Amino acid sequence: MQTKKTPPQTNDAEENKKAVKRAQDVKKPNPHERVLERIGYYLATGRIRLGMDPLGPWPPSYPKYSKWDLHDDLIVELSGVNEWNVLNWFIQFAKKGDLTKLSPADILALQEESQALQARGIPEVTPRGAPLNEPLSVAELTQLQREVQKHIENFLATGTFAFTDFHPTLVVERDPEDKRRLIDYEFLPPFHGQGLLYLFATLLRRVRLPIEQCPRCQNIFLKSRKDAGYCSRECQSLHYAQRKRGNRPPGKRGRPRKYPEPLDHGTTRKPTEKKGVKHGTKKRTR
């Protein structure tokens, strides 16, 4: 009689270490990761679990949900570029006012964010864009802010963005996938903030959401969706209430009047007395 052989036992800890090592090899270290997370650069597109368990759809079913710990080293998060947040960074940057009046900490934060966007945002978002891993000076940041403000003001006035300051270079080279043919693309030098301005123009073409001015607080904002008419929920509700109320001041409901309200025929009514039928009397019917 033959006995059934049991499969060899595998060490789960060793397999997990190998899985973590594979995940670390795939995800290269990013020196600008902290700065990019601060501006909301990353967008989670999915999660997978490494190890001996087979890969399944996300999220898993409810009975197995306890096995999927978001703080587990075996969870690998697939992330992409949040293009709306990056475009909104340019809008908020244009509204900061005079940069020379900012604190040294705020200027350092702007330099770190501009450096991270030049090093990672330009090659990942723009077609064939060249990265530049150098922080911008205060003068270059001021010039970039003026350019963005000029384009935003022109769009609010005419409804059109017109970028005429770019001087791209046409490059023709061998195709890296097929050496027998040539490919061509336009290359824009990223120096003096031109790369970030090109990133701003590219994000406008990809996001395709206009920049508007709030009708209540006159704040310039980037629409989060096509039907957004106000910069926030607060402005939307207050503007709707003001439009319904008109020029009348807000009422004081629940508070008695200090002086009795005069009636049409000259008599007065008590402050707590309401209009209409009194208690204990029936309404006259015809």
Secondary structure string (H, E, C) spanning 74-89: CEEEEEEECHHHHHHH
- Assign residue 91 a region: left if phi > 0, alpha if psi is -120 to 50, beta otherwise? alpha
Instruction: With respect to residue 110, please indicate whether it lies within any of the assigned structural domains.
Output: yes
How many structural domains is the chain composed of? Answer: 3
Instruction: With respect to residue 257, please indicate whether it lies within any of the assigned structural domains.
Output: no
Instruction: With respect to residue 112, please indicate whether it lies within any of the assigned structural domains.
Output: yes
The answer to whether the Cα torsion of 96, 217, 148, 120 is positive or negative is positive
Instruction: With respect to residue 166, please indicate whether it lies within any of the assigned structural domains.
Output: yes
The answer to whether the Cα torsion of 58, 59, 64, 69 is positive or negative is positive
Instruction: With respect to residue 190, please indicate whether it lies within any of the assigned structural domains.
Output: yes
Tell which of 28, 54, 81 closes a domain. 81
What 3-state class would DSSP assign to 271? coil
Q: What is the CA radius of gyration of the chain?
A: 31
Predicted local confidence at residue 160, as pLDDT: 94
- Average pLDDT for 254-278: 54
213 with 140, same domain: the answer is no
Q: How far apart are CA 129 and CA 166, in angstroms?
A: 13
pLDDT tens digits, residue range 141-153?
999 999 999 999 9
106 with 153, same domain: the answer is yes
pLDDT tens digits, residue range 72-100?
556 666 778 899 999 999 999 999 999 99
pLDDT tens digits, residue range 180-191?
999 888 778 888
Instruction: With respect to residue 252, please indicate whether it lies within any of the assigned structural domains.
Output: no
98 with 148, same domain: the answer is yes
What value does the mean pLDDT of the chain take? 77
Question: What is the residue range of 37's domain?
Answer: 19-81
